[in-house]
Amino acid sequence: MESLLKKELNTSILKSSGCGGGGCISQGTAYDTDNGRIFVKFNHKSKARIMFDGEMASLEAILQTNTVKVPKPIKVIDLPDGGAMFAMEYLDMRSLNRYSAKLGEQMADLHLHNQNLGMKIKAEEQTIGKGPGQSELQYVDRFGFHTSTCCGYIPQVNDWCTDWVAFYTNYKLQPQLEMIEKEYGDREARELWSQLKIKIPDFFHDIDIVPALLHGDLWGGNVAECDSGPVIFDPASFYGHSEFELAIAGMFGGFGSSFYSAYHSKIPKAAGFDKRLKLYQVFHYLNHWNHFGTSYRSSSLSGMRSLLK
C-alpha cells in the first residue's frame, strides 16, 4: 500500500509520522513526503472511491469560496484489493475552543457566498460593457451537486433540482426511508412517512431559499481548530438550504453558544426555523439508523411524529 502511495504521489520519501486518526467510517495516517506532511485516509469498502471522490469535490468547492479553512485535497487512489485511499494536506488540529465564534462567522460566509455571487453578477450585468458572460464567477441557481457525495458511507442523490422542497423530500428523505423499508420493513416508519411527506411543503410558506454551498455533515467530530483559526473537514457537500447545516450540529453537541450567536448575526433565523430544524434532523436520524442500526429508530420515529402534531 505504501509503495503504491509513494508511486502515485511521486515522492522519494514516505515515512509514517506516527500521527494517526479515524472515525466511524475510515482510518487515517500522516506521512512525511518530499513536499511536506500529508494525511491519508483509507477505506476498504467497495464504494470507497465514490465516497472519497465526493469528499475531494466537496473540499475543492469549499476551498474556492475562500471562506473557511479545509484541508487541501491531493489525490484519490484505488487500492489493488478493493477500496481506496485519499491523500490531502496535513493540518495540525485540536478540538474547537477559542475559535468557536469565528467558525460561526465563517460558516455563515460560506452559506452566503453563492447568494453574494449572484448579486455581484447581477450588478455586473447592469454595468455598461460588462455582459453576463464576461464574469469568471459562477452562480448556482439550483439545488444539488455535480457529483455524488456520501454522508457517512451512503452515497447521496445530488441530482440538480430547482425546487428545494422537492429536492429534500425526494432526494434526501425518500431514499433513507426506502433503505429502512428494504432492511427492516418497519411499518411505523412507513406510516409516519406517508403522513409527513405531504405535510413538508407547509414548513416552507413565505420563505425564499437561495442555494447555499453546504459542508453537509457538520457535527462536532468534523470541526476543529489550528493556530490560524477554525477548520472543517470530512464534508459531504451539496447546494441546499443553509438551515440544513445546523441540524446535525445541534444533535451531538460540540458547538457553543458563541458559534450560533456569530452565525445568526449574519444569517438571522427566519420564521419557522425551529420546526424546519427538526425536519432536517429527521434526515440525520434516519441516516444514522441506516448506518448504525436500530438504536436510532426511536429518535427517527419521534422526530417524524413531532412534526405531525
Residues serving a catalytic function are 217
The angle at the Cα of 50, spanning 111 to 139, to the nearest 5 degrees, equals 30
Long-range contacts of 272-277 (CB under 8 A, 24+ apart): 272/203, 272/204, 272/205, 272/207, 273/243, 275/203, 275/307, 276/203, 276/204, 276/241, 276/243, 277/243, 277/246, 277/247, 277/250
Sequence-separated (6 or more) residues with CB below 8 Å from residue 221:
23, 234, 252, 254
Closest CA to 227 of 101, 109, 98, 107: 98
